[in-house]
Amino acid sequence: MTEKKFRKQNPGPFYSWPMGIWFSIFFIVPILIIICYSFMKNDLYGGVLKEFTLDAYRQMFSPEYAEIFLRTLWMTIIATFVSCAIAIPCGYAMARSRHQTLLLILVIIPFLTNSLIRIFAWMTILGEEGLLNSVCGFFAKAFFFVTQNKDGSFEPVQFMYTKGAVILVSIYMYLPYAILPVFTSIDRFDFTLLEAARDLGASKPGAIFRVMLPGIKSGIISAIIFTFIPIFGNYTVPQIIGSTESYMLGNTIMDQITKIGNLPLASAISVVLTFISMAAILFMISSEKKEQNLKTVKKES
């Protein structure tokens, strides 16, 4: 068969052109623009000067921004770890339940509500006159271990505008991103392997840690990536729930654009975040390929 006849009978590559054009215009081109901006000089009156420089990257790695980066990193790691620790038992319970559809709907329901509404709902819980302080005030007065003001009134606990509040709300916002891939992996897992491990003398926790968790490794990796990436670049939660001491890289990017007008620095931070996200995605793809190759080798042997 000649090449022309093959192209006529198999026009599949031509169908990918619209997607390729859309992908190039709305994804690749903006990233290239941001990369170019990151290597340009900041204009004092806003915008950029078309002069090649590494000032934005030098400024980004200064102690001030390095502190923000480390703060963002450890807050993201904590929120991701807690999300995955909650997602694994939730995914297990969902996979073993007879009401999987109902439980999936309950997990997806938060996505039907605007994210800002969910964040403001947490403000009514964590605020000085919120639900938590009302409960604390009730029990404190009932058991006489209340922290009082001079007039004898209850002194509210500072739940809002703290790093803990940002981590807590971030976990709530992105927990479904961890539950869904873990549930998918557990649902496909062969539970007879757990029974075989128990028959060979393993305890129930030992069978879960030695058999099930390695078997759902791809789902756990996906959960880590799906939560780590959005939390690492999060802006709205630290902006509304946190304070200047809990600002993350997303807030720094927004401040550089809207308040300071330093587009090269904002672009440099965005480039670093983009490459971290891409590295995480490539790691997930490579780990899944290795796992598939191991499965094929085991089947052939």
pLDDT tens, residue by residue, 114-140: 888 888 889 888 887 878 878 777 776
pLDDT in tens, 155-193: 777 888 888 999 999 999 999 999 999 999 888 888 888
Helix 100-108 to helix 63-96 angle, to the nearest 10 degrees? 160
Q: Is the full-model pTM beyond 0.85?
A: no
Beta carbons within 8 Å of 90's beta carbon, 6+ residues apart: 107, 179, 182, 183
Candidates 160, 166, 164, 162; CA nearest to 124 is: 160
Confidence category of residue 227, pLDDT binned at 50, 70, 90: very high
Candidates 244, 241, 263; CA nearest to 254 is: 263
DSSP state at residue 245: G
Of residues 24 and 199, which shows the higher confidence score? 199
* pLDDT (0 to 100) of residue 221: 87
Confidence category of residue 213, pLDDT binned at 50, 70, 90: confident
CB 211 within 8 A of CB 194: yes
- The DSSP-derived string for 215-252 is HTHHHHHHHHHHHHHHHHT--HHHHHH--GGG--HHHH
Q: Is residue 9's pLDDT more than 80?
A: no
* pLDDT (0 to 100) of residue 301: 58
CB 125 within 8 A of CB 198: no
CB 231 within 8 A of CB 79: yes
Instruction: Please state, in angstroms and rounded to a whole number, the distance separating the CA atoms of residues 96 and 187.
Output: 8
